Amino acid sequence: MTEDILINVTPFETRVALVALGAIQELHIERSIQRGHVGNIYLGRVVRVLPGMQSAFIDIGLERAAFMHIADLRENRIERSANTNPTPIEKLLFEGQSLMVQVIKDPLGTKGARLSSQISIAGRMLVYLPHDPHIGISQKIGSEAERQALRERLQTLVPADEKGGFIVRTQAEGASDEEILADLAYLKKLWANVQAAARTLPASSMLHQDLTLAQRVLRDMVTPMTNQILVDSRSTCAELTTWAQTYTPSVSERIRHYSGERALFDTANIEDEIVRALARRVDLKSGGYLVIDQTEALTTVDVNTGGFVGGRNFDDTIFKTNLEAAQAIARQLRLRNLGGIIILDFIDMEDLEHREAVLAELKKALAHDRTRMTVNGFTQLGLVEMTRKRTRDSLAHQLCEPCPTCQSRGNVRTNRSICYEILREILREARQFNPKEFRILASQGVVDLFLEEESQHLAMLGDFVGKQISLEVSSGYTQEQYDIVLT
Ligand SMILES: [Zn+2]
């Protein structure tokens, strides 16, 4: 099976689709507005040292001077770990001095960016700490024994004259020596280029920018199965090719500029698929369908047969629908990037062999997904529990916000419920205030109901409170919105 990677570039966002078997399997989106400065490395220039606060302002070429506290100074960290008396900041920094710094917190409002002079560069599996000779293992990696084994393996792979240190990320679990060595080579090359830039560029220059989505894709997503990488912007394509020639040479020949007539994401129906990937319901070819619900705690996927199933082939139809659902679920989890606990509710199957076959089909389909997962068998209630590692936000969280009409409950109160709430509210206000008239501002549907089926109730209330009640349609109001104006 071969894959294509499609990169759609616009000034406001970059979208990356992984296409295999003629269908989109994975989607990544990065919006320019969300790209901050964290991770960027600069040659800063000290503009002011503040002994009272043990901190300094440093110009890195951004609008506002950035801030560094002594605790984030490399020298201070070394002294603290050696338990010697820390040198005050005014003995370490002076105005006009140039030093290499990295942004650890983005500027916010009137506050400038926060800096550290302890540089760290993230690769795919390792984080390189050029000034800290020490190997750390991510706490998220399994057992103590696994962590120890990884540490020993890294020690054999790192050259003996290495002065820096590394943190091993969870992605290194199960990685081959070749993959780790490739990541080491990438990090060393990047660091060499940062140092070279620091020697030649003037103060307040950027030495390294944290990778863009497209660059991360070239570094992390390309496999021997990748057939081609299509980029629909000529300039980005050229930039990526140059970048790949330096950092991921095996990838560079596969990058191509797409100049077709149709928009890149209209090929393979990607735009339509993205819209469908936000819907609750996913239709299956067999006539069945999935209902996917994402809550804070977990995601549930409910498998349904389409319409009436009866007669001799009852078991067979259900089995086939579940098999198709297993494949569709695997693809949807990946496309929607759903993480955490996931509960799958297949249609009930009596036959144990059928159950086993559906589970096997699910595991086979999930094998294409590079995200870490666990799949448990059927529970007593006939559900399949699984987990998928949470990485970035799910597609729905990235592209959608809670529905203002229903507050994401998925349904709104009926017009009649709103009518009755308005009647109760008028009753309440009539006890408290003594206006000449009540005016109801509400949606078209609510006003229509008051004019017809509920007109008697409204008239009765008017008599009861002894006031005039008038109606007015507010076209901008949602079904649940209304106002009662006292005049
Ligand atoms: Zn809603």
DSSP 119-166: --EE-SSEEEETT---EEE-TTSS-HHHHHHHHHHHHHHS-TT--SEE
Would you identify the CATH topology of the domain 41-207? OB fold (Dihydrolipoamide Acetyltransferase, E2P) (2.40.50)
How many angstroms does the Cα of residue 393 sit away from the middle of ligand 1? 21
Tens digit of pLDDT per residue, the chain (487 long)? 799 999 999 989 999 999 998 889 999 999 888 788 999 999 999 999 999 999 999 999 998 999 999 999 988 877 877 777 888 999 999 999 999 999 999 988 888 999 999 999 999 889 999 998 888 888 777 788 888 888 888 889 988 888 899 999 887 887 888 889 989 999 999 999 999 999 999 999 999 999 999 999 998 889 889 999 999 999 999 999 999 998 888 899 999 999 999 999 998 889 999 999 999 999 999 889 999 998 888 999 999 987 766 666 778 889 999 999 999 999 999 999 999 999 999 999 888 899 999 999 999 999 988 888 999 989 988 899 999 988 778 898 888 888 888 877 778 899 999 999 999 999 999 988 889 999 999 999 999 999 999 999 999 999 999 999 999 999 889 889 999 999 8
How many angstroms does the Cα of residue 412 sit away from the middle of ligand 1? 7
How many angstroms does the Cα of residue 445 sit away from the middle of ligand 1? 17
How many angstroms does the Cα of residue 100 sit away from the middle of ligand 1? 50
How many angstroms does the Cα of residue 484 sit away from the middle of ligand 1? 24
How many angstroms does the Cα of residue 17 sit away from the middle of ligand 1? 28
**With contact defined as beta carbons under 8 Å apart, do 368 and 330 qualify?**
yes
How many angstroms does the Cα of residue 404 sit away from the middle of ligand 1? 7
How many angstroms does the Cα of residue 447 sit away from the middle of ligand 1? 21
The reported pLDDT for the residue numbered 445 is 95
How many angstroms does the Cα of residue 410 sit away from the middle of ligand 1? 5
**With contact defined as beta carbons under 8 Å apart, do 419 and 452 qualify?**
no
The reported pLDDT for the residue numbered 310 is 63
How many angstroms does the Cα of residue 407 sit away from the middle of ligand 1? 6
Q: Out of 3.30.70.2190, 3.40.605.10, 3.30.1380.10, 3.40.1260.20, which CATH number does the structure's domain 415-486 have?
A: 3.40.1260.20
How many angstroms does the Cα of residue 324 sit away from the middle of ligand 1? 30
How many angstroms does the Cα of residue 402 sit away from the middle of ligand 1? 8
The reported pLDDT for the residue numbered 83 is 78
Across 315-467, the runs of DSSP E, i.e. the strands, are: 340-345, 373-378, 384-388, 437-442
pTM: 0.79
* Residue 478 Cα distances to 52, 128, 261, 469, angstroms: 56, 53, 41, 21
How many angstroms does the Cα of residue 343 sit away from the middle of ligand 1? 23
How many angstroms does the Cα of residue 470 sit away from the middle of ligand 1? 29
Domain boundaries, the chain: 3-35+212-271, 41-207, 277-399, 415-486
Scanning 25-135, the segments in alpha helix (DSSP H) are 74-81, 89-92
DSSP summary character for residue 111: B
Instruction: Give me 439's structure tokens.
Output: 């005016």
How many angstroms does the Cα of residue 273 sit away from the middle of ligand 1? 21
The reported pLDDT for the residue numbered 417 is 95
How many angstroms does the Cα of residue 330 sit away from the middle of ligand 1? 27
How many angstroms does the Cα of residue 13 sit away from the middle of ligand 1? 27
Across 247-383, the runs of DSSP E, i.e. the strands, are: 255-257, 281-283, 289-294, 298-304, 340-345, 373-378
H or E segment at 352? helix 352-366
Closest CA to 331 of 29, 2, 23, 30: 23
What SS3 class is residue 6?
A: strand
How many angstroms does the Cα of residue 406 sit away from the middle of ligand 1? 4
How many angstroms does the Cα of residue 171 sit away from the middle of ligand 1? 38
CA 403, CA 412: separation in Å to the nearest integer? Answer: 10
CA 231, CA 5: separation in Å to the nearest integer? Answer: 9
CA 286, CA 180: separation in Å to the nearest integer? Answer: 44
How many angstroms does the Cα of residue 16 sit away from the middle of ligand 1? 29
CA 118, CA 479: separation in Å to the nearest integer? Answer: 55
Q: Does domain 3-35+212-271 have CATH number 3.30.420.60?
A: yes
For ligand 1, a single-atom ion, the residues with CB < 5 A are 403, 405-406
How many angstroms does the Cα of residue 450 sit away from the middle of ligand 1? 24
Instruction: Give me 307's structure tokens.
Output: 């319409």
How many angstroms does the Cα of residue 272 sit away from the middle of ligand 1? 21
How many angstroms does the Cα of residue 293 sit away from the middle of ligand 1? 14
**With contact defined as beta carbons under 8 Å apart, do 247 and 189 qualify?**
yes
Residue 103 burial (CB count, 10 A): 24
How many angstroms does the Cα of residue 401 sit away from the middle of ligand 1? 10
